[in-house]
Amino acid sequence: MKFEYYNPTHLIFGAGTLARLGEVTSAYGKKAMIVTGGGSVKRSGAFDRAVASLSAAGVSFVECDGVEPNPRLSSVARGGEIARTEGCDVVIALGGGSVMDAAKVMAAAVYYEGDLWEMFPHGQANRRLPERALPVITVPTLAATGSEMNSGAVITDEKTTIKSFVGAKCLYPKAAIVDPELTLSVPKDQTAYGVCDLITHVTESYFNGVDGTPMQDRFAESVIATAIEWGPKAVADGSNLEARAQVQWASVVALNGWVQTGCMSPFPVHMIEHTISALHDIAHGAGLAIVNPAWMRFAAKSRPARFAQFAHRIFGIELKSEEDMEAALQGIDRFEEFLRSIGCPTRLSECGIGDELLNRYAEDTLLVAGNAFGQLAGRPMMTQADIVEVLRAAV
């Protein structure tokens, strides 16, 4: 194993921590841009409480609202323009992953010359990463993406319907205020999709990472087991603050880089899913619930021992041998049943999606994430035909 770990985000976790927003923000300036989505934070009262905390700390604000789920490049450009013309010192993201991702790129847009889409891989010859950004404070209202404590952002170019990602040091939030009370109003379906998303963040590295990372295996298993224990409680009773807190902590850990450290893992399931949520505007976590089990059945053929380990350690399935394929497949079935039990779709047809565009999804996946040989990185490497095969199994 050989690795570096870097994560500069100051994490403040716990019920009621939203009250610290003003104090935390005031360390970065006197004028903030608050980025929000379609209105949930206004309805829940979170916005008013955020503003009260800022006012008490002497921080003024302007607003950039209306960021859509699966955020569009035009919204990001609009927010960058507001922050620049208003002379904001700091950007506050108050919302789900879409709001946080958009806010990060808005913060970078203030300094970025030219077309923002050049940050995002989409088949272009030269990619230009952002090098500077305004300080960002994240305040997640949904437990899912882990965007609050990582350097990534996922944006859709609505002109081409390509969804792509950027990761850069300057996009790490300065602080993440993670207050589980803010997630009490998340509806059942989005709660379940968040649980699926956070689990998939760690299954990616568990199944696609390099060999010889036993501690990271245990980290990933711990995240999965925690999500399987507490996720259904949060879905069944949204007002269960303890369940909300456990799920949210799991979602932070799942993608703040710690579990993946040293795994050097690509994220093939994510790369495939992004093309589906880009074209059909479905929730990312719902898309993952469809793609991940189908991908697992495909990948298990070339790596049965790893999937047998998953079956044994997560679901207690007895193994007849280290490479017990029957047990491996049982584990995947159990995982899929779990996703269904909390209300996730596990087939494209449940989202009204047919098989007409399977080739298009595969092409778009490779456009964004393919290597020079037209393959998608992962274990195993996937060709366009492999991606189509996985998706056909998920129709």
Q: Is 145 in the site for ligand NZQ (CB under 6 A)?
A: yes
Which partner in Zn ion, ligand NZQ, none is near 141 (CB below 5 to 8 A by kind)? ligand NZQ
Q: Is 273 in the site for Zn ion (CB under 5 A)?
A: no
Mask 370-389, x = binds Zn ion (CB under 5 A)? Answer: --------------------
Residue 62 tokens read as 């302007």
Which partner in Zn ion, ligand NZQ, none is near 173 (CB below 5 to 8 A by kind)? none
Site for ligand NZQ in 164-183 (CB under 6 A): 182-183
**19 CB-contact burial (10 Å; exposed 0-12 / middle 13-18 / buried 19+):** middle
Shortest Å, Cβ 176 to ligand NZQ: 12
Q: Which of 97, 135, 266, 304 lies at the binding interface for ligand NZQ (CB under 6 A)? A: 97
Q: Is 364 in the site for Zn ion (CB under 5 A)?
A: no
Nearer to ligand NZQ, 137 or 327 (CB): 137
Mask 268-307, x = binds ligand NZQ (CB under 6 A)? Answer: --x-------------xx----------------------
**By C-alpha distance, which of 216, 210, 247, 222 is closest to 232?**
247
Which partner in Zn ion, ligand NZQ, none is near 378 (CB below 5 to 8 A by kind)? none
Shortest Å, Cβ 165 to ligand NZQ: 7
Q: Which of 76, 134, 137, 144 lies at the binding interface for ligand NZQ (CB under 6 A)? A: 144
Shortest Å, Cβ 271 to ligand NZQ: 10
What whole-number distance in Å separates Cα of residue 320 and Cα of residue 323?
8
Residue 234 tokens read as 């949060």
Q: Is 148 in the site for Zn ion (CB under 5 A)?
A: no
Which partner in ligand NZQ, Zn ion, none is near 142 (CB below 5 to 8 A by kind)? ligand NZQ
Shortest Å, Cβ 380 to ligand NZQ: 22
Q: Which of 16, 39, 87, 123 lies at the binding interface for ligand NZQ (CB under 6 A)? A: 39
What whole-number distance in Å separates Cα of residue 76 and Cα of residue 99?
10
Q: Is 101 in the site for ligand NZQ (CB under 6 A)?
A: yes
Residue 108 φ then ψ, to 5°: -80, -30
Q: Which of 148, 179, 181, 197 lies at the binding interface for Zn ion (CB under 5 A)? A: 197
Nearer to Zn ion, 22 or 146 (CB): 146
Site for ligand NZQ in 243-262 (CB under 6 A): 255
Q: Is 14 in the site for ligand NZQ (CB under 6 A)?
A: no
Instruction: Kindly indicate which of the ranges 51-59, 81-89, 125-133, 192-200 contains the residues binding Zn ion, using the contact rule CB under 5 A.
Output: 192-200
Q: Which of 142, 166, 227, 342 lies at the binding interface for ligand NZQ (CB under 6 A)? A: 142
Q: Is 96 in the site for ligand NZQ (CB under 6 A)?
A: yes
Return the amino acid letter for 77: A
Helix H, strand E, coil C: the string for the chain is CCCCCCCCCEEEECCCHHHHHHHHHHCCCCEEEEECCCCHHHHHCHHHHHHHHHHHCCCEEEEECCCCCCCEHHHHHHHHHHHHHCCCCEEEEEECHHHHHHHHHHHHHCCCCCCHHHHCCCCCCCCCCCCCCCCEEEEECCCCCCHHHCCEEEEEECCCCEEEEEECHHHCCCEEEECHHHHCCCCHHHHHHHHHHHHHHHHHHHHHCCCCCHHHHHHHHHHHHHHHHHHHHHHHCCCCHHHHHHHHHHHHHHCCCCCCCCCCCCCHHHHHHHHHHHHHCCCHHHHHHHHHHHHHHHHHCCCHHHHHHHHHHHHCCCCCCCCCHHHHHHHHHHHHHHHHHCCCCCCHHHHCCCCCCHHHHHHHHHHHHECCCCCECCCCCECHHHHHHHHHHCC
Which partner in ligand NZQ, Zn ion, none is near 329 (CB below 5 to 8 A by kind)? none
Residues near ligand NZQ (CB under 6 A) are 37-41, 44, 69-70, 95-99, 101, 141-142, 144-147, 150, 152-154, 182-183, 185-186, 190, 194, 197, 255, 270, 284-285
